[in-house]
Amino acid sequence: MSIPFVCGIDPGASGGIAVLDAHGHWEVYPMPETDSDVADLFRPIAWPECVFFIEKVHSMPAQGVASSFTFGKNYGVLLGCLRALRCRTEHVQPKEWQQLVGLRYPVDTPYSERKKLGRARAQELFPHIKVTHAIADALMIAEYGRRVLTARHSP
């Protein structure tokens, strides 16, 4: 059984959204700028056959109060839109999707270096797409979702 649609969401303000359709075509989007733009992006793909995989996030100790608040707001808007559209949503821990798609780096790797390594891994997985930092994690989260759903539906 094939999976018709999978959507991967990196909920950071500089994150992105990646959608795999039933024909193996990818659509990628940087994170929409407004709440309405989020809803407008999700509405056409909010079908029962689409599964949305969103990275389960939390604030980081080094993150400032304002950026934590903004990050939490963005995450809440994404979840609210998905719930309002009755989308099938699964939360995934960063380490879980990273392990499945083969993204590995030492624990003490600086954030900027982790982002570079993530973009490079996404480019390896998706050579036909021009991968940017904004869409790299979303692509890999969608690929994680595709692999998980395929395994669930295999005999």
pTM greater than the 0.75 cutoff: yes
How would you classify residue 31: left for phi > 0, otherwise alpha for psi between -120 and 50, otherwise beta? beta
Q: What is the pLDDT of residue 68?
A: 60
Q: Which residue has the higher pLDDT, 73 or 102?
A: 102
Question: Residue 70 belongs to a domain with what CATH number?
Answer: 3.30.420.10
Query: Is residue 101 scored above 80 in pLDDT?
Result: yes
Query: Is residue 72 scored above 80 in pLDDT?
Result: no
86 exposure class (CB count in 10 Å sphere: 0-12, 13-18, 19+): exposed
Q: What is the pLDDT of residue 112?
A: 87
Nearest to 144 by CA among 93, 79, 78: 93
pLDDT tier at 2, thresholds 50, 70, 90 = low
Number of domains in the chain: 1
Domain extent at residue 26: 5-152
For the residues 101-128, what does the mean pLDDT come to?
91
pLDDT digits (tens, 9 = 90+) for 18-70: 998 767 788 999 999 898 999 999 998 887 788 999 998 765 555 555 556 56
